[in-house]
Structure 1
Amino acid sequence: MRVDKEKCKGCGLCQEVCPLEVINVVEGKANIEGECVECKACLRVCPHEALVPEAKEDHPKCEACPIMCRIPEGAYGACKRYLNEKGKIIRRGRVYTYEEIVKIIKYEKDPIIEEPIITGIGVGTTYPDFRPSPLIVSALKDGIEVITAVTEAPLSYSALNLKIDTDFYIGSEGKKVFVRKKGKRIIGHVCTEQYGSKIISIGGINILTSKDGLFAAKVMLELLQGKKVIMEVEDGPQLEICIGEAPVINGVKEELMRVGCGSATIGLFGLYMLKIADEVIVLDGHITGLFSEHPAAKYLGKERSGIYIKGEKSTEGRYFLPKGKGWGGTNIENPLEIISSVDVDKFKDGMTLLITETTGRKFAFYKFKNGKFEEEQPPPSVIQFLELLRQNCERSRVSAVFIGGIGGSARGGVTKNPIKLTNAVHEGKVTITIGGIKPFIFPGGGINFIVDVTKMKTDSIYMAPTPSFIIPIEYTMRKETFEEIGGHIEVVKKLEEVLNRNVD
């Protein structure tokens, strides 16, 4: 990479993003003072077009990712994994066995306490906090005495995160989500989207304690009960949501979840694309792919077509487009709008172009005639390819995780010394389950968890209008751990005694 000193304003953006820290601003101008690998991070952020690519062909190319670094002798690539060792690109380091990693992280799994003896479903609640849990039960597992304390705990720190499988753009992070209940009621917000899915958070402590808190709590409960809820996104679409079913967005039912982004689709199906058209463009709100420019096409020996497309170029064949209501969640309403220019010396009359979404839901097939693209009925080979795309897409659905924080009575019912319980949970000496389902426990302080509600027994979560959500919680541990943390040993009952009294 070379710096054009006339254009450089010394803003320092290139210095901030250089992964190898070889750029420094000296006397108001950027200087490259080390082994540049041509990753082009600086090029992407420079507002003055002051960086000029200057690939050194004598440096071998790393092909481990789309960046394709040119790595000088003895230097690392931008990711700091791959090294040029005597002209050969190698991955430095070694492979670690699972046993080695277990020793490093110092985590010992205790299979004896992996599953609770009983669940907290239907057990009831003890309130105020210092009273022992409704049931603390002991039983022998492989000759070892194990104790499970169970309760239905009211958690005010509660939220429901909805995972909505769609490539439809529903709005940027932070946009409010509301329902219309005698007015517009704010119940949540749009979160960072995940691969193939949009995420919406419903509830949470700040919303549940707001003037709309009870409305949000009611929506959460309705969703947990399997009911359909109609909600709207600020400046965005109307959503019909029911956990376990396909989402309906602006009245249109989403059928398929994308197989991958536009680039991933090319990587997965490049062999098929090679045979069906002279160029394939995969429109996607994450990464739009241009087949003939993509490394997959080069690997297959395909020549670059003369088609150039709009968008911010990430790497070869991979482009970022603005989000929108168009194809694949982009702002492209008419598929031909994606094309910025055509080199007619390369893309000649009679050559073909397929533009598709990653799901194959929307597609258009064109033939280039007299300098223009004319849409035609796709041949059987293209139809078969689109069907292959669809077959590799999962069915769209709405799933949900419950996020909660275990506080007062949920711990006080187990022990007289709650900090010891918290520490024991993080040390792996106590296993927490939610209605028998093992959650993910957040690292750090406190006991905050995420659990997949689709795996839980239906109607095992209730709502109190404080508002809070009543969750079945189980704490399972060895008897000696229960004694060490100051557990309510005086109320422990044998499993047989509890089962004899258990009446449905």
Structure 2
Amino acid sequence: MQVNVEKCTGCGFCMRDCPVEAVKISKKKAIINKEVCTHCGVCSKVCPEQAVESDTTLLTGTVECDACPIKCKVPLNAMGACLRYRNDNEILVRVTDLHTFEDVKKIVGQVPNPAIQYPVITALGSGTTYPCCKPAPHIVSETRGDVDVVTVVTEVPLSYSSILVKVDTDVFIGTEGANVMVGKRVVGMVETEQYGSKMLHIGGVNRLTSENGFLVARTITDIANGKEVKLKIENGSRLKIRVGYAPTINGTKIKKMRIGCGSATLGIFAPLLKEVADEVIVLDSHVTGLLSGHVAGNYAGVTPSGVDLKFKLSTPGRYFGDHGKGWGGTSVTDPKEVIQSIDMDTARPGMTIFITETTGQNGAMFELDEKGKLVSMSLTKKAKAALKTIEDSCEPSLVSAVYIGGSGGSARAGVTKSPIKLTKAVHDNRAHLTVCGAPGFILPGGGISFMVDVNRVKPGAFYWTPTPATICPLEYTMEVKDYISIGGHVEAMKPFAAKEPGKIKNQEK
């Protein structure tokens, strides 16, 4: 690629998105290092001035890669745009060793024992089936007991892919539907909340094919590979996330996820909380609980207090909360502000009120004076013990993620001459799909749409290519007789023979 310096404004978009860091900005003009440039075309696609043009002149020793539609022109000793292949002495070599299941099973965790539940080898390091009309790069068989099995592996580029990120926290991060951004570019959205967690959906085919597609692909891959990623929620919080670690929100590391909503907290701890105060309020953005009105409070023998809350009543003792930067992810920053009114015909002077949240990390106590006003008081020993009990019952706050992909297209042709038969075999559990050895959950319905917990996949197993698409290591394992019946590439099948425990050296692509 070459830069038309008269058109170039030095905006830096090409440098920002180049997957091999071949572009630099000098004196407000882009300069492309031809010894690194792979002609992947990212720079020309993101240039708003159309200042980047194709250069058909190639350096001596350059090799064209056929692993994906980009067809990188990889210079000598340089890496391809997907960072999987290197030009070593005019031979493209897969830079990661081919991994067997033995090398990744500790990360994958416990798997079922039936013969086809784990692959002979994984797809990590296998290379890609492209074009898909040829057999997959490795079709390997072995005998397990008296059952002959085969595993077909490929690192498949998936445009239909995304990652669902679960952030364990009750801290408000942004409204549902708000854009999730890296820098100033949109990569996803705040999707919803699960029990004690916020859900972020990054990617999807429409975002991957958008103007931010390269960044979207990189973000999905970085999260899936366990790297730290910085995100910004539109009109919301700034996050630092890394799978398997606690999230950081607006500079604060989150320690605990909630044990449940305010109603659930009352349900779990009603007998304990009854001993703390005459009335207990548990603040929560979903459901805020009032012990005296709650069924658990009634069960524990708590008498009416005359307290009513400012939130909308759902059912007795349960109020729909709101969202904000206060306690329990609500807008309440001064805990007594949650109280809308106190009926002094029911309440009494000297009555105590204990207010906390679902993680037990904040607590406050008040006493009702003769005039019906709340007076702050120090936390009692019982209140402190209750807070500790609630907090100790909460799990550590973590970030987790599920990679979602659709592999129902032409990639199946690398497995079998009859792709629809492979789809049926997967749904019939005659062919078991794994991702670098980790079991995939197959979504019901048509096609092969799957989900996998990335924390069970070896870090570094995912890649991206500037089609743009993410690259996922997929394995299909089945009995040989079933592979024959679905029209598999039996002629390409080879018996398994590892050269060293855990890994098989890739010679060349």
TM over 0.5: yes
**Mapping 1:76-91, distance limit 5 Å:** none
What residue in structure 1 maps to residue 323 of structure 2?
323
What residue in structure 2 maps to residue 457 of structure 1?
458
Letter in 2 for 1:402: Y
Unaligned runs of 5+ in 1: 1-108
What residue in structure 1 maps to residue 141 of structure 2?
138
Alpha-carbon distance in 1 for matches of 2:318, 2:245 = 32
What residue in structure 2 maps to residue 487 of structure 1?
488
Bigger shift: residues 372-381 or 304-313: 304-313
What residue in structure 1 maps to residue 248 of structure 2?
248
**Which secondary structure does the structure 1 equivalent of 2:286 belong to?**
coil
What residue in structure 1 maps to residue 163 of structure 2?
160
Identity of aligned pairs, percent? 48
Q: Deviations over 1:256-280 (max 9, x none)?
A: 1000000000111111011110000
Alpha-carbon distance in 2 for matches of 1:115, 1:251 = 41
Alpha-carbon distance in 1 for matches of 2:207, 2:162 = 9
Alpha-carbon distance in 1 for matches of 2:167, 2:322 = 20
Contact 2:365 2:376 in 1 (8 A): yes
Alpha-carbon distance in 2 for matches of 1:297, 1:502 = 63
**Which secondary structure does the structure 2 equivalent of 1:276 belong to?**
coil
What residue in structure 1 maps to residue 182 of structure 2?
179
Alpha-carbon distance in 1 for matches of 2:450, 2:163 = 12
**Which secondary structure does the structure 2 equivalent of 1:416 belong to?**
coil
**Which secondary structure does the structure 2 equivalent of 1:394 belong to?**
coil
Alpha-carbon distance in 2 for matches of 1:128, 1:469 = 17
**Which secondary structure does the structure 1 equivalent of 2:150 belong to?**
strand
What residue in structure 2 maps to residue 30 of structure 1?
none
Contact 1:282 1:357 in 2 (8 A): yes
Check if 1:148 corresponds to 2:174.
no
Q: Deviations over 1:263-301 (max 9, x none)?
A: 000111111011110000000011100001111111122
Contact 1:239 1:250 in 2 (8 A): yes
What residue in structure 1 maps to residue 425 of structure 2?
424
TM-score (norm 2): 0.75
Alpha-carbon distance in 1 for matches of 2:226, 2:141 = 35
**Mapping 1:180-219, distance limit 5 Å:** 180=183, 184-219=184-219
Letter in 1 for 2:255: E
Unaligned runs of 5+ in 2: 1-111
Offset at residue 497 of structure 1 (A) = 7.2
Alpha-carbon distance in 2 for matches of 1:166, 1:496 = 47
**Mapping 1:17-56, distance limit 5 Å:** none
1:497/1:339 CA distance change after superposition, 3 Å: closer
Offset at residue 305 of structure 1 (A) = 1.4
Offset at residue 220 of structure 1 (A) = 2.3
Check if 1:118 corresponds to 2:156.
no
Q: Deviations over 1:302-352 (max 9, x none)?
A: 211111112222211111022222211112222111112112232211111
Offset at residue 482 of structure 1 (A) = 0.6
Alpha-carbon distance in 2 for matches of 1:496, 1:235 = 56
Check if 1:311 corresponds to 2:311.
yes
Offset at residue 158 of structure 1 (A) = 1.5
What residue in structure 2 maps to residue 474 of structure 1?
475
What residue in structure 1 maps to residue 234 of structure 2?
234
Contact 1:401 1:453 in 2 (8 A): yes
Alpha-carbon distance in 2 for matches of 1:490, 1:116 = 19
Letter in 2 for 1:373: L
Letter in 1 for 2:464: M
Alpha-carbon distance in 2 for matches of 1:226, 1:428 = 30
Alpha-carbon distance in 1 for matches of 2:335, 2:117 = 53
Check if 1:285 corresponds to 2:285.
yes
Letter in 2 for 1:155: L
Letter in 2 for 1:503: K
Contact 1:313 1:320 in 2 (8 A): yes
